[in-house]
Every structure is written in structure tokens, then in C-alpha cells.
Amino acid sequence: MSRRLGKQTGPLAGAVLVACVLAIMSATLFGGKVFSSGDNLFLWPPFSAHPPGGWVQPSNFLLTDPVQGFIPNMLQARADLSHGVLPLWQPDAGAGRPLFASQVDALLFPLTWLAFLLPFWTSLAWIAAAKLLLAALGTYLFVRDLGLRRGPSVLAALAFACGMFFVVWLEHPQTNVWLCLPWMLLGTRRICWHGSLLGTALLGAATGLAWQGGHPESAAFLMAATAAYADTLGREHPERRVEAQELAELFCRQAKLRAESLFEELWNNEDDAGREAAAKLLDGRYRWLEEGIIDPSGEGPMIPEEVKESAAGVSS
């Protein structure tokens, strides 16, 4: 009887999580609202001169990054793909900037693809709902593997997915990464306890997705947490300690390689000329230019004749 009840309550727990996520996101999934902090636009010119009737303040004035960066970049990528072009470049940001190579836009993260397949403004809510559901399901399966009963496991799943950190950053790439944490911990536990091939595949998949989530700093935290958890399992079960230490060492090495590669790419990029010019400015090489641009007389010309003469002497 208890075994039959267990088989019935497993899908029931999943249905409860799905229902909770749908209820939380119902206003934007089914109620006609848009899951966006886009009304922050009315804080800035020229939009501030024509706010909609009854508008007093934005729904959340702290969430400006999605309005200024994430949403415009997704729209640009969507437009490029609709024309059969790879979204490599964002021409509307200053003088242009890389788009596909951008960290925060996470164009290779599977949930981002919903913005290219569904109606765009509707897709934002489904992306957020998918984040909540994946975080909740991963937590539920992890704590179930720890031995918790189904009721407390559902509570733990909702506490993680609906916690303050996750909800506040739901529009940001951080939550792309952190939803992978319970899946990584579950895979680690299955490997350390059972040597599970499925656990290995799960850990590899979750780790790969975390690095594509758009926030490498968070991915490094997750790898550190997973390595620490593997070491903890080794301490609790000495017979598995060697395997746990090997896993922890592997993850630390991978995190180190990822970090070194990231900083190498940041340092050695197409902006080297700009960096060198900035260094020369700090050294005073172009001091004549600064003196010419800053004309204390206020009458001009912007670069006085005497400065031009000294510039010719410097250049020669």
C-alpha cells in the first residue's frame, strides 16, 4: 500500500510544483501583463516627458539592466535570426559591441531560445516560469535523494525557487546559473554514492549549462560549492573519499581553467589599442592634447596655436 502511495505521490508532488509556478506567474502567463521592468524607461529622456496616464513611478526602479541591455539585445538577436543572420553584433550600443560573445546575454542557454520561438513579450514570462520550475524540480529531487519525505521536499523546492534572491534576479542571467545548483549537487551525490553513469551525465550537463547561463562569476561559485559538497561526502563516507577528492580536484581545475581563459580573453582582445592609448594618457604622453582641449579662457579656439606648436614638437 505504501509503495503504491509513493508511486502516486511522486507525480502529485511534481504537479503541485507546476501549479505553484503557474499561480505565481499567472498575471503574465495568462493575465495579459508583460513580465518586464520596462516602465523604467519613463525615468529617462525623452520618454520621461510623455509618461502614460496615471503613471507615478516604475514597478521596480532597481531593475534597469533588463531594460537597458538584456531585452534590446534579445530583440536584436531575434531580428538577426529571423533574417538568417547570426547575432554576432549589437549595432545600437554606442559604436557597437559584440552580441553573441557577450557574457550576460546567454544566447546559447536553452531557455533564452524561447525568446526566439515564442511571441517575444509573452516569452519573457515563460522563460521566468521555466527558471522557477527547473530550480524547484532540481531541489525537490535533490532533497528526496537526501531522504526527505515528499511534503518537506516540496517545501524545500518552493523555498529555493521562490526565495528572495531568486525572485529578485529572475530577469537576470544569475538565475540561469543558480537553477543548475541542485542538479549539480544531485549529480555529485549520485556519483559519490553510487558511481552512477546517469549522475555523471547529469553533473556534466548541469555544469555545462551553468557556464552558458550568462554569469561566469556565479558558475565559479557553483563549481566551488559542488567541490566542497563532494569533499563533504568523502568525509562522511571514507570508503568513497578518494573518488570524492578526485571529483573535487577536477572541478577546481576546471574552474581555474575557465577563470584563466576568461581573463585572458578580456585582456587580449580587440581593445588592446584603446588600452595602450589609455596607458599613454596616464603617462602624460598626450598632455598637450589635454591642455589644448581644456581652454581656460573660455573663448577658444579649442586647441590654441601655441599648443599646436608644442604638439608639432612632440610629434617630431
Beta strands per DSSP E along the chain: 89-90, 97-98
Query: What is the rounded average pLDDT of the residues 3-32?
Result: 80
Report which of 231, 233, 213 is spatially closest to residue 135, judged by C-alpha positions: 213
> How do residues 54-113 score in pLDDT, each as one tens digit?
888 887 777 888 888 889 999 999 999 999 998 988 888 777 888 888 888 899 999 999
Q: Do residues 107 and 87 touch, judged by C-beta distance below 8 A?
A: yes
- Quick one: pLDDT at residue 226? 92
> Whose grid coordinates read 509573452?
122
Given a cut of 90, whether residue 271 has pLDDT beyond it is: no
Give residue 234's pLDDT: 75
Q: Between the ranges 39-53, 54-68, 176-190, where is the mean pLDDT highest? A: 176-190
> Of 220-234, 275-289, 301-315, where does mean pLDDT reach its minimum?
301-315
pLDDT value of residue 182: 96
Residues 6+ apart with CB under 8 A from 291: 307
Q: CB-hemisphere CA count at 13 Å for 267? A: 6
Alpha carbon distance 67, 302 (integer Å): 37
Angle between helix 150-161 and 2-24 (nearest 10): 20
> Which whole number is the average pLDDT over 280-288?
56
Cβ-based neighbours of 131, under 8 Å, separated by 6 or more:
111, 166, 170, 175, 176, 179
* pLDDT-based confidence at residue 222 (cuts at 50, 70, 90): very high
Q: Determine contact, residues 186/192, Cβ cutoff 8 Å.
A: no
What global pTM score does this model have?
0.73
Query: CA angle at residue 37 from 178 to 208, to 5 degrees?
Result: 20
Alpha-carbon dihedral sign for residues 9, 160, 103, 63: positive
Q: Tell me the pLDDT of the chain averaged across its residues.
A: 80
Check if the beta carbon of residue 171 is closer than 8 Å to that of residue 128.
yes
Which letter does DSSP use for residue 37 in this model? -
Q: What is the pLDDT of residue 74?
A: 93
Cell 589635454 belongs to 290
Element (H, E) at 292: helix 287-293
Task: Kindly tell me if the per-residue pLDDT of 114 is higher than 90.
Answer: yes
Q: What is the pLDDT of residue 93?
A: 79
pLDDT above 80 for 255:
no
- β-bridge mates for residue 97, sequence order: 90
